[in-house]
Chain A
Amino acid sequence: MSQLPHTVRGVDHVAFPTFDPAGTVAFYRDVLGFPVVHSICAAGWGPEEHPDFIHFFFDIGNNDRLAFFYYFGYEPPQRGVKGDVYARFEDDIPDFFVKSRHLAIHVDSDTDLLEYRRRLDNSQWPVELQVQHETIESIYTHDPNGYFVEITRALRPVTPQEDLDANLTADALVDVVKGPDVSMAALLTRKAELIVERAADWEPAQR
């Protein structure tokens, strides 16, 4: 387990390109109610044929920000039939992979989750799916850029033993992908070895 000091403080911003700034502002600011908190209007410069661009930011809570780039005069690369405006895929690429990359925004309560559901359902971008996973409940939709967006709440706090389990999983995965048999069966075998080595002494170490 890493003993390095852990001093980072969440997401400053995560940035995506958009070809539909009107839809993007409507979705995040007017429908979801995320304030616009920062923007940069920049002339293109540099060795590449860099277009002029607008970089604009939405507050997604906790002082974290979701940012977009709009490039004047740059047409979206038209490849593939599914995916979002940044990553397009042909029809033979399975949806589990296409939908794997997504943004999940946290809310604290059922009331908050249902309020965001209400806002989305009254818009052009209604909730496509509401799911209770093991320990979280989430709503999902696609934003005007095709980005897959989730809003989620925890059904219970994460327990300390789940942090231990996550670390054993990560170590087992790192070991297994270096070996000849990269499979779930190999991972569960390696993880059992790590449980026997490290989990028995875990509880006293926490006290």
Chain B
Amino acid sequence: MTQLFMLDVPENTPIVAVADQDPHVTVDKVGPYFRIAADASIVIDRRATGCRHAVWYSSVAGLLRSRITQWDKDAMRIEPT
């Protein structure tokens, strides 16, 4: 299972909200972190999040059994390892 952690701070919440729009994605909390999980890939469209680059490129706190295969100005793609 793909698992991505993001810290619960105001700058990150739009990213989590966009990820949560995918029906295959579940979001819950581990302490002050959002855990974004899916059986397959997680893809987040940066423009949909409205995030500035500095936020976007520092938003990932942790990856469990997952790897980043795309992290650019367009999107973030996390896949299971």
Contacts and interface: CB of A to CB of B under 8 A. Distances in A.
Interface of A: 132-135, 156, 159-162, 164-165, 168, 185, 188-189, 191-196, 198-203
Contacts of A156: 10
A188 B60 CA distance: 8
A160 B9 CA distance: 10
Contact of A134 (B31, B58, B61): B58
A200 B54 contact: no
Contact of A195 (B5, B11, B54): B5
B10 A161 contact: no
Contact of B64 (A132, A193, A201): A193
B interface, size bucket = 20 to 34
A163 to B, nearest CB: 10
Interface string B41-73: 000000000001011001011111001100000
Interface in B1-42: 3, 5, 7-11, 30-33
18 contacts: A132-B52, A132-B54, A133-B54, A134-B52, A135-B11, A161-B31, A164-B31, A188-B60, A188-B63, A188-B68, A189-B63, A192-B3, A195-B5, A195-B31, A198-B31, A199-B30, A201-B31, A202-B32
B32 A189 contact: no
Contact of A161 (B7, B54, B64): B7
Given A185-B68, A191-B5, 18 more contacts: A133-B54, A161-B8, A161-B9, A164-B32, A165-B7, A168-B61, A192-B5, A192-B61, A192-B63, A193-B64, A194-B62, A195-B61, A195-B62, A196-B30, A198-B31, A199-B33, A200-B30, A200-B31
A165 B33 CA distance: 9
Nearest to A201: B31
B11 A165 contact: no
Contacts of A185: 63, 67-68
Contacts of B3: 192
Contact of B62 (A132, A188, A202): A188
Contacts of A188: 60-63, 68
A164 B64 CA distance: 19
A202 to B, nearest CB: 4
A132 B62 CA distance: 25
Nearest to B35: A195
